[in-house]
Amino acid sequence: MSNIVDANYRFIAANQEVNARISQRQQALTLYVTLIVSLLAALVALKPGEGNGKLPIEWLVLGFPVSSICLAFLSYKAERAIANLRQFLSALERLGDAHNNLPSYNTDPKWALGANKARRFQDFAAAVLVAGGNGIGLGAVIKIYPERMAENPAIVWICSIIALLSLIAVLLIPRWSYKPDQ
């Protein structure tokens, strides 16, 4: 009995790992939406006039861009893992020049680049959520706590800059998508 794992088993395992990473990207979006909605609820629940005027709202508002940058980091991690796994799958598809005789999802640019284009909508969704979540969050804090934000304009700038950097990072993630060898 041989201790070598057959290429088919390796392919199946790597493909299952790709699916797990795609699922993780979706879960990161769900987590992000949950965090943003929770932060908005906290802002509204702590509104002034209810004895909460001294609460650290400036710290709470930082949750919006921090959540966004975490989404960007998690998305990047998942994209790099997917690209690495798909490169491995492509190498397995090429064993014995099988890619010349069989359809090869990860090796043939027609399939591989099509998958990247479809997954690009995940990146668009993340970008819309980052822009919308931060816009709504900053808008709410400025509307609900105008005096506090007027006293601390730096917090609005810091949040805006981090949110913008997060948005740029999310939009750049497709640069690290898997590209088959030509």
Number of structural domains found in the chain: 1
pTM above 0.75, yes or no: yes
Reference 123, options 68, 171, 64; nearest CA is 171
Q: Does residue 134 or residue 116 have the better pLDDT?
A: 134
In a domain, 1, yes or no: no
Distance CA 28, CA 78 (A): 10
In a domain, 42, yes or no: yes
In a domain, 147, yes or no: yes
Q: Does residue 170 or residue 178 have the better pLDDT?
A: 170
In a domain, 181, yes or no: no
In a domain, 98, yes or no: yes
- Which are the contacts of 10, defined by CB distance < 8 A and separation ≥ 6? 88, 92
Residue 172 in this model has a pLDDT that exceeds 70: yes
Q: Which structural domain, as residue segments, surrounds residue 155?
A: 7-176
pLDDT digits (tens, 9 = 90+) for 47-80: 766 555 577 788 899 999 999 999 999 999 999 9
In a domain, 139, yes or no: yes
Report residue 117's pLDDT band, with 50, 70 and 90 as the boundaries: confident
Helices (H) and strands (E) in the chain, counts: 6, 0
pLDDT digits (tens, 9 = 90+) for 21-44: 999 999 999 999 999 999 999 988
Residue 20 in this model has a pLDDT that exceeds 60: yes
